[in-house]
Chain A
């Protein structure tokens, strides 16, 4: 752990975003994770994405559970709202917060233990309900805080640092999310920021349940030969189906793509995703196709990354429930409780 605070000085030539902030302004406290932890790169990617989107920090609620991954919200967006919940309970706290105040940007940060073991049910239901959020799993396939046992996402046949072979089948959270109806599903790698940053930015812009599984090597317990979540293994087996650029309205980037290679996806917030295809046959609007593609490649030992599925016309929980536009937490008492006359009228309508 680093004992000194990160110096306040920043590069004099740093660019500022629309709000006049540099990316340094989106940082939190200094990380207490092990040196080299993949999670720190995801932290840096979230910082970068929020900076690029010119998000006002006070409009973000970052919610996490327990584990190394769930510590990370302390390390980014130091001026945002935060809730460090009970183990595995991030999704329900997030769902509640979202229902109470639909105006915030919800960032759920979790790990493979927090989402694929103790919080597996919570994860499933928040996805199933279509809560408008960006759900990031920092997936290292190992219980780092308890010194390296296999987690539920560890691949069958992979080896622990001590040499034991995993005999259990792995949970693929991406496959589950697709099956449960997530409307934005992606996988990435902490060691590939050029892919991860735009994915996070696009997920934030998506209205509905966005899920990103980020493979994040555990330097201390899962970065050895025989691991399928190590830097070397992921780099060797990474099969990216596409790359993307997020185009925010104010930023008319002159994107020069060869014709036919790019697919534009319009998002709810007006931003556009320019998807550069790597695999020409891959269609990110085909949920079924994505599931098949994923399983075929997994069988070959390949890790499919990129934006795997997106439904640009998705609806979220609020639309399903037909709630009012005004966040519930700002409704005045007389609106919430319009009096006995109104109650009588309402009861009458049900008789």
Chain B
């Protein structure tokens, strides 16, 4: 193999698995260290810059970082990254002085369709640069689906108010209760740019016999949740069936339990493992005595003269074809009818753009989705940008944020007369963490603790009030314990070939057998000859240039604990622990800036 080019910005970024997996590339280990030091406000600001909604995401994020977390490969469970984010939000001081100030306007006007996470992220990035941002939303308050679809017992309004407030206070003009009904009309208002962050607002229908007749008791999940959110709905029948296996279904069933549903069941076509809902959300539902029934396909709503009495299901089983694809085929068992008073249909969401006229210069593909460039988020109309669920279909808040940042950069470049396809490279800092002979600026003593559970409110109390938050969040002590579990994957092992005397000290001390000195070879061959098995080709090998004996140093990044013992036991300083910090490119950060970051 060729010597690894550690100067490539992506090389060490990939080693920070959590940050690499995060769509917004939040510097996770950096803020976790700050939490461990009790510097909650600093930790919050790192998050705020990167993911805009730390308090909201700390409660609701889909956590792509956690399955990626190296700790999950070293022991059973990853670091509770998401809930630590909430800790930063919960314990921070007043941070308003640290926020950007509304700046003098630059005369450019940008309109936003929808006031959800994507639009707010774009506005957050553009408003401090002097853009006049006007956000239109059909709902009276900002937040979009974060406010309308996520139940209050998971995400209190106070958190949404606070974090949307930070953005709106940057001088963003929010027009609540103002639904955009015509793109043509909006274009006619001569905005310099338009950002569409209108989400995926339509719940998918379930068109099976009895749907029309039983309509009074069959509700579309996201509409129903939204109606509950705004206080229009406050009760439901005693026996409720929720159809669907995603996170919306989990929100529906748990909400139903709080509005009078005594026998709430979730019925899913697929098996339990394949359900789209996050494992922890399924767990929370089960904890609230909601059974999840699998391998049942709804075939008809049963009604008694228009009064819903139940649903008939066909029993299926999973079969896998030669390519390993799963098919659900009838199991041959008799159909099953489950009685119920109300049904919540949560079988998916769709995009809908009935308000975009055909002659706006915005082209749609065969799936009726706007043609959007995945890098710049520009549509076929160069002034119109899409982001969030509106661009590539339903995803999670953190994706909307990441796309928002990219779209904001495009808008800023376009309105500065620059080529939007040119994306300035991120800024990377790599610096030694050595403080003394065996002292580092980070805590390299590895904690053996298992993942700490987030305390929950007592179930009896939690189920009584739909606005009572179930999760209490970590207290300071638990947060410290959990933060200490982080392996500091951003503090990288950096090897200098010229200093190495091949004494084997690093090989001997490495607790994870990551390091091997051997003859060079092709990657597949090298992986066979390492000191410990190397089962994950997605984890890079760090290969040195030729050493004095003609061998090379090969380090498998896979399960490195970043404990720094290789560097501590190295007599010549050939190993050093260096912190990698990547500053993503945001609107306005085209030129490298000397920004202050926490050490």
Q: Do A and B come from one complex?
A: yes
Least CB distance, A236 to chain B, in whole angstroms? 10
List of B residues within 8 angstroms of A10 by Cβ: 511-513
Whether A4 contacts B444 in the complex (CB less than 8 A), given A9-B75, A34-B571, comes out as: yes
How distant is the Cα of A349 from the Cα of B438 in the complex, in angstroms? 70
Main secondary structure, interface of B, reads loop
| A-B contact list, 20 entries, CB within 8 Å | A1-B438, A2-B565, A2-B569, A3-B438, A5-B445, A7-B561, A8-B448, A9-B561, A10-B512, A12-B559, A24-B511, A35-B571, A36-B503, A36-B570, A36-B572, A37-B503, A40-B508, A43-B508, A217-B503, A231-B501
List of A residues within 8 angstroms of B501 by Cβ: 36, 223, 231-232
How distant is the Cα of A235 from the Cα of B551 in the complex, in angstroms? 13
Tell me which of B75, B445, B503, B563 contacts A191 (CB under 8 A): B503
Query: A-B contact count, CB below 8 Å?
Result: 98
Asked if A38 is at the interface of the complex by the 8 Å CB criterion, the answer is yes
Asked if B446 is at the interface of the complex by the 8 Å CB criterion, the answer is yes
Least CB distance, B446 to chain A, in whole angstroms? 4
Asked if B478 is at the interface of the complex by the 8 Å CB criterion, the answer is no
How distant is the Cα of A190 from the Cα of B504 in the complex, in angstroms? 9
List of A residues within 8 angstroms of B571 by Cβ: 34-37, 219
Against B, the Cβ 8 Å flags (1 = close, 0 = not) of A263-277 are 000000000000000
Asked if A295 is at the interface of the complex by the 8 Å CB criterion, the answer is no
**How many residues of B sit at the interface, in one of the four size bands?**
20 to 34
Against A, the Cβ 8 Å flags (1 = close, 0 = not) of B434-476 are 0000100000111010000000000000000000000000000
Asked if A11 is at the interface of the complex by the 8 Å CB criterion, the answer is yes
Asked if A44 is at the interface of the complex by the 8 Å CB criterion, the answer is yes
List of A residues within 8 angstroms of B101 by Cβ: none
B563 and chain A: residue at smallest CB distance: A7
How distant is the Cα of A191 from the Cα of B549 in the complex, in angstroms? 11
How distant is the Cα of A31 from the Cα of B504 in the complex, in angstroms? 14
List of B residues within 8 angstroms of A223 by Cβ: 501
List of A residues within 8 angstroms of B73 by Cβ: 12
List of A residues within 8 angstroms of B104 by Cβ: none
Asked if B139 is at the interface of the complex by the 8 Å CB criterion, the answer is no
Q: Are the CB atoms of A231 and B503 closer together than 8 Å?
A: yes
List of B residues within 8 angstroms of A31 by Cβ: 509, 569
Q: Are the CB atoms of A231 and B502 closer together than 8 Å?
A: yes
Whether A9 contacts B446 in the complex (CB less than 8 A), given A14-B513, A35-B568, A40-B569, comes out as: yes
Q: Are the CB atoms of B533 and A11 closer together than 8 Å?
A: yes
Least CB distance, A100 to chain B, in whole angstroms? 33
Instruction: Give 9 nearest A-B pairs by CB, closest first.
Output: A36-B571, A13-B533, A7-B446, A44-B508, A11-B532, A4-B445, A36-B503, A35-B571, A219-B571
Whether A13 contacts B535 in the complex (CB less than 8 A), given A6-B509, A35-B571, comes out as: yes
Q: Are the CB atoms of A41 and B568 closer together than 8 Å?
A: no
Within 8 A of A (CB), among B366-418: none
User: What is A's interface to B at a CB cutoff of 8 Å?
Assistant: 1-14, 24, 30-31, 34-38, 40-41, 43-44, 190-191, 193, 217, 219, 223, 231-232, 235
Within 8 A of A (CB), among B502-521: 502-505, 507-509, 511-514
How distant is the Cα of A193 from the Cα of B549 in the complex, in angstroms? 14
How distant is the Cα of A38 from the Cα of B445 in the complex, in angstroms? 25
How distant is the Cα of A190 from the Cα of B507 in the complex, in angstroms? 13
Q: Are the CB atoms of A235 and B549 closer together than 8 Å?
A: yes
How distant is the Cα of A13 from the Cα of B528 in the complex, in angstroms? 13
Asked if B74 is at the interface of the complex by the 8 Å CB criterion, the answer is yes
How distant is the Cα of A38 from the Cα of B501 in the complex, in angstroms? 12
Least CB distance, A36 to chain B, in whole angstroms? 3
How distant is the Cα of A37 from the Cα of B501 in the complex, in angstroms? 11
Whether A2 contacts B438 in the complex (CB less than 8 A), given A9-B446, A231-B502, A235-B549, comes out as: yes
List of A residues within 8 angstroms of B559 by Cβ: 11-12
A41 and chain B: residue at smallest CB distance: B504
How distant is the Cα of A179 from the Cα of B74 in the complex, in angstroms? 52
List of A residues within 8 angstroms of B503 by Cβ: 36-38, 41, 191, 217, 219, 231
Q: Which of A11, A31, A190 has the most CB of B within 10 A?
A: A11
Within 8 A of A (CB), among B218-261: none
Least CB distance, B560 to chain A, in whole angstroms? 10
How distant is the Cα of A132 from the Cα of B563 in the complex, in angstroms? 41
Q: Which of B448, B509, B514, B548 has the most CB of A within 10 A?
A: B509
Q: Are the CB atoms of A193 and B509 closer together than 8 Å?
A: no
How distant is the Cα of A211 from the Cα of B569 in the complex, in angstroms? 29
B505 and chain A: residue at smallest CB distance: A36
A7 and chain B: residue at smallest CB distance: B446
B71 and chain A: residue at smallest CB distance: A9
Least CB distance, A328 to chain B, in whole angstroms? 38
List of B residues within 8 angstroms of A190 by Cβ: 504
Whether A7 contacts B569 in the complex (CB less than 8 A), given A36-B505, A191-B504, A231-B502, comes out as: no
Least CB distance, B542 to chain A, in whole angstroms? 16
Tell me which of A6, A41, A191 contacts B511 (CB under 8 A): A6
Q: Are the CB atoms of B565 and A191 closer together than 8 Å?
A: no
How distant is the Cα of A2 from the Cα of B568 in the complex, in angstroms? 6
How distant is the Cα of A11 from the Cα of B73 in the complex, in angstroms? 9
Q: Which of B73, B503, B559 has the most CB of A within 10 A?
A: B503
A192 and chain B: residue at smallest CB distance: B504
Whether A9 contacts B505 in the complex (CB less than 8 A), given A35-B571, A36-B570, comes out as: no
Least CB distance, B74 to chain A, in whole angstroms? 5
Q: Are the CB atoms of B505 and A35 closer together than 8 Å?
A: yes
List of A residues within 8 angstroms of B513 by Cβ: 10-11, 14
List of B residues within 8 angstroms of A44 by Cβ: 504, 507-508
Tell me which of A13, A34, A41 contacts B508 (CB under 8 A): A41
How distant is the Cα of A10 from the Cα of B563 in the complex, in angstroms? 12
List of A residues within 8 angstroms of B561 by Cβ: 7, 9
Q: Are the CB atoms of B505 and A7 closer together than 8 Å?
A: no
Q: Are the CB atoms of B532 and A13 closer together than 8 Å?
A: yes
List of B residues within 8 angstroms of A5 by Cβ: 445
Since A40-B505, A40-B509, A235-B548 are in contact, a sample of 15 more A-B pairs with Cβ atoms closer than 8 Å, ordered by chain A residue number, is: A2-B509, A3-B438, A4-B446, A7-B563, A9-B74, A11-B559, A24-B511, A35-B568, A35-B569, A35-B571, A36-B503, A36-B572, A41-B505, A191-B502, A219-B503
List of A residues within 8 angstroms of B74 by Cβ: 9, 12
How distant is the Cα of A4 from the Cα of B513 in the complex, in angstroms? 18
How distant is the Cα of A34 from the Cα of B74 in the complex, in angstroms? 29
How distant is the Cα of A8 from the Cα of B512 in the complex, in angstroms? 9
List of B residues within 8 angstroms of A231 by Cβ: 501-503
How distant is the Cα of A232 from the Cα of B563 in the complex, in angstroms? 29
How distant is the Cα of A12 from the Cα of B563 in the complex, in angstroms? 17
B512 and chain A: residue at smallest CB distance: A11
Least CB distance, B533 to chain A, in whole angstroms? 4
How distant is the Cα of A1 from the Cα of B509 in the complex, in angstroms? 12
List of A residues within 8 angstroms of B565 by Cβ: 2, 4, 6
How distant is the Cα of A41 from the Cα of B444 in the complex, in angstroms? 23
How distant is the Cα of A241 from the Cα of B312 in the complex, in angstroms? 82
Q: Are the CB atoms of A36 and B511 closer together than 8 Å?
A: no
Least CB distance, B557 to chain A, in whole angstroms? 13
Against A, the Cβ 8 Å flags (1 = close, 0 = not) of B564-587 are 010011111000000000000000
List of B residues within 8 angstroms of A1 by Cβ: 438
Least CB distance, A131 to chain B, in whole angstroms? 29
Least CB distance, B348 to chain A, in whole angstroms? 37
List of A residues within 8 angstroms of B549 by Cβ: 235
List of A residues within 8 angstroms of B569 by Cβ: 2, 31, 35-36, 40
Least CB distance, A147 to chain B, in whole angstroms? 16
Q: Are the CB atoms of A193 and B446 closer together than 8 Å?
A: no
B511 and chain A: residue at smallest CB distance: A7
How distant is the Cα of A317 from the Cα of B505 in the complex, in angstroms? 37
List of A residues within 8 angstroms of B514 by Cβ: 11
List of A residues within 8 angstroms of B572 by Cβ: 36
How distant is the Cα of A23 from the Cα of B58 in the complex, in angstroms? 41
List of B residues within 8 angstroms of A41 by Cβ: 503-505, 508
How distant is the Cα of A44 from the Cα of B511 in the complex, in angstroms? 12
List of A residues within 8 angstroms of B438 by Cβ: 1-3
How distant is the Cα of A191 from the Cα of B548 in the complex, in angstroms? 13
How distant is the Cα of A30 from the Cα of B510 in the complex, in angstroms? 11
